[in-house]
């Protein structure tokens, strides 16, 4: 299979160009943690959003954690993602695609290998959910360009699902050549579009539902952890027993402060979202994540394609993971809404369940295993061989360690994939009898 050997040789031989611009984490930061903040950014209070939430609660009662999280992160005026570029050197945290180009390159190879496994369809939509600064998409498109001989005449386009006007502007600056178009958002599903330097069309949408159908490879890195969760607590009292919803209320002692309370009786959400056989005493459920994964599963079933999801997560075992980040430290989730990042670990068991039986899910496996299976060691050797600057070499080694070390991002981050049912079925021809076609990253690519 010539194309597969081309993919392997891309990792272990080809394209040893270093894109140093993509490695912008200051060294001190790499030592302190993967979520960090520049001291340049001062803590400011966001009184408008706090006031708005307090008024609402006073008028109609406590709100769900899900509503609180949605407002704090994506309120159209003062949401954290709406108005911030939190990923830059002056931002609040650093992500794998921002740490090293290798991350995006290996995900690019994954996309091409899934496209090949589908029989090289004539159309390839690359769809990224929550593209941040556009670094991952940029690295993947560079791999596509370098693997032009494999992709042949396939019609490639890029579709970005992004709620943040601020970040979509940053993405456009990163990915597009000069001209770009903005659309009347009331009329159009696409709110921005343009063309890359190599002529690939790029479109921006607010919702996955608006992305056009067609064979698609979906990428979502640190996207699902930003979606709103409901929180539920199992209550055991002499007179009362059962699931209650954790809600957000105004503190009666201090009207400028919020606090958590438990609903007096079951809520509609607790009745619907807590599984009947749930064994934990506290659970977090992300229905929006469930709806999105169902959408991806339907598209993969109907039009072909694959999805790769990478995030902090667990397989249905963790309980209270809702947290905020501001500065170098954990931040009280109820303080200064709109000014801090809020996140909850992704429950991959829930995503697998919501994806349903029409698709096959792989993982979660650790980032370390995924990247090693994808050939990160071989790719590192190629880049190191081509790099003679002492500082850049040291940076490369640090970034490799940061991505793969179990104590850093190596085990905290998990990879999970959604594939069409036929993907793992026995195929005649290339495969040895009895061996399912390998899925890159989840099995070794076998570079030698
Ligand atoms: N994937 C990037 C950025 C992660 S931060 C990286 O790894 O570097 C989360 C991203 O998801 C941001 O781009 C944010 O604006 C976007 N986002 C958050 N909630 C969203 C939602 N409900 N719909 C679409 N995009 C969302």
Distance 219 CA to ligand 1 centre (A): 11
C-beta of 194 in contact with ligand 1 (< 6 A):
no
Q: Is the CB of 420 under 6 A from ligand 1?
A: no
What are the DSSP calls for 121-173, one per residue? -SEEEEEEES-TTSHHHHHHHHHHHHTHHHHTT-EEEEEEE---HHHHHHHHH
Q: pLDDT tens across 166-190, in order? A: 999 999 999 999 767 777 666 689 9
What is the H or E stretch that residue 212 is in?
Answer: none
- What contacts 215, CB < 8 A, 6 or more positions away? 115, 118, 121, 123, 124, 125, 303, 304, 305
pLDDT at 93: 80
Residue with token string 């959400």: 269
pLDDT, tens digit, 9 for 90 and up, residues 25-49: 333 333 333 443 333 343 444 688 9
Q: Which secondary-structure segment (H or E) carries 351?
A: helix 348-355
pLDDT at 428 over 60: no
161 alpha carbon – ligand 1 mean position (Å): 8
Distance CA 351, CA 345 (A): 12
Comparing 433 with 441, the larger pLDDT belongs to 441
Cis amide bond preceding 364, omega within 30: yes
Residue scoring higher pLDDT (31 or 165): 165
pLDDT of residue 2: 60
CA-CA distance, 299 to 295, in Å (whole number)?
A: 6
Q: What is the pLDDT of residue 228?
A: 98
Residue with CA closest to ligand 1 atom 2: 132
Q: Does the Cβ of 97 fall within 6 Å of ligand 1?
A: yes
Query: What does the pLDDT read at residue 15?
Result: 61
- 18 pLDDT more than 50: yes
Read off the pLDDT of residues 79-97 as tens digits, 9 standing for 90 and up.
999 987 777 666 778 899 9
- pLDDT recorded at residue 239: 73
How far, in Å, is the centroid of ligand 1 from the Cα of 74? 10
**pLDDT tens digits, one per residue of 389-421:** 999 999 999 999 999 999 999 999 999 999 999
Q: Give the model's pLDDT for residue 39.
A: 34
| Ligand 1 pocket check for 221: Cβ under 6 Å | yes
Any atom of ligand 1 within 6 Å of the Cβ of 347: no
Could you tell me if the CB of 225 is within 6 A of ligand 1?
no
What are the pLDDT digits (tens) for 230-251? 999 999 877 778 999 999 999 9
CA distance 6 to 445: 12
Ligand 1 neighbourhood includes 131 CB (under 6 angstroms): yes
């Amino acid at each position: 299979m010539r194309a597969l050997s081309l993919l392997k040789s891309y990792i272990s031989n080809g394209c040893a160009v270093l894109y140093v611009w993509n490695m912008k984490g200051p060294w001190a930061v790499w030592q302190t943690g993967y979520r960090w903040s520049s001291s340049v950014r001062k803590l400011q209070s966001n009184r408008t959003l706090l006031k708005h939430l307090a008024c609402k609660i006073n008028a109609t009662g406590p709100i769900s954690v899900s509503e609180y999280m949605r407002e704090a992160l994506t309120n159209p005026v003062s949401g954290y993602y709406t108005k911030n570029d939190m990923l830059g050197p002056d931002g609040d945290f650093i992500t794998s695609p921002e740490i090293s180009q290798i991350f995006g390159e290996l995900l690019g190879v994954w996309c091409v290998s899934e496209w090949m496994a589908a029989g090289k369809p004539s159309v390839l939509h690359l769809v990224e959910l929550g593209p941040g600064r556009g670094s991952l998409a940029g690295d993947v498109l560079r791999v596509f360009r370098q693997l032009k001989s494999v992709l042949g005449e396939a019609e490639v386009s890029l579709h970005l699902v992004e709620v943040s006007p601020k970040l979509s502007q940053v993405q456009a600056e990163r990915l597009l050549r000069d001209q770009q178009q903005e659309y009347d958002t009331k009329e159009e599903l696409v709110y921005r579009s343009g063309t890359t330097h190599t002529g690939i069309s790029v479109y921006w949408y607010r919702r996955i539902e608006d992305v056009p159908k067609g064979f698609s490879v979906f990428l979502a890195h640190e996207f699902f952890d930003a979606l709103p969760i409901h929180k539920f607590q199992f209550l055991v009292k002499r007179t009362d027993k059962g699931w209650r919803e954790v809600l957000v209320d105004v503190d009666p002692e201090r009207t400028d402060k919020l606090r958590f309370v438990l609903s007096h009786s079951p809520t509609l959400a607790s009745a619907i979202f807590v599984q009947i056989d749930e064994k934990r005493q506290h659970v977090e459920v992300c229905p929006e994540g469930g709806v999105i994964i169902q959408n991806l599963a339907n598209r993969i079933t109907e039009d072909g394609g694959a999805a790769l999801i990478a995030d902090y997560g667990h397989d249905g075992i963790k309980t209270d993971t809702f947290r905020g980040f501001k500065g170098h430290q954990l931040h009280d989730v109820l303080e200064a809404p709109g000014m801090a990042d809020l996140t909850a670990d992704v429950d991959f068991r829930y995503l697998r369940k919501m994806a349903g039986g029409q698709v096959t899910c792989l993982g979660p496996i650790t980032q370390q295993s995924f990247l090693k299976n994808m050939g990160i060691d071989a790719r590192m050797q190629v880049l190191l061989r081509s790099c003679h600057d002492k500082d850049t070499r040291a940076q490369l080694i640090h970034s490799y360690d940061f991505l793969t070390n179990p104590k850093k991002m190596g085990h905290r981050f998990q990879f999970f994939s959604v594939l069409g049912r036929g993907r793992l079925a026995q195929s005649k021809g290339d495969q040895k009898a009895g061996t399912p076609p390998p899925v890159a990253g989840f099995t070794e690519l076998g570079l030698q």
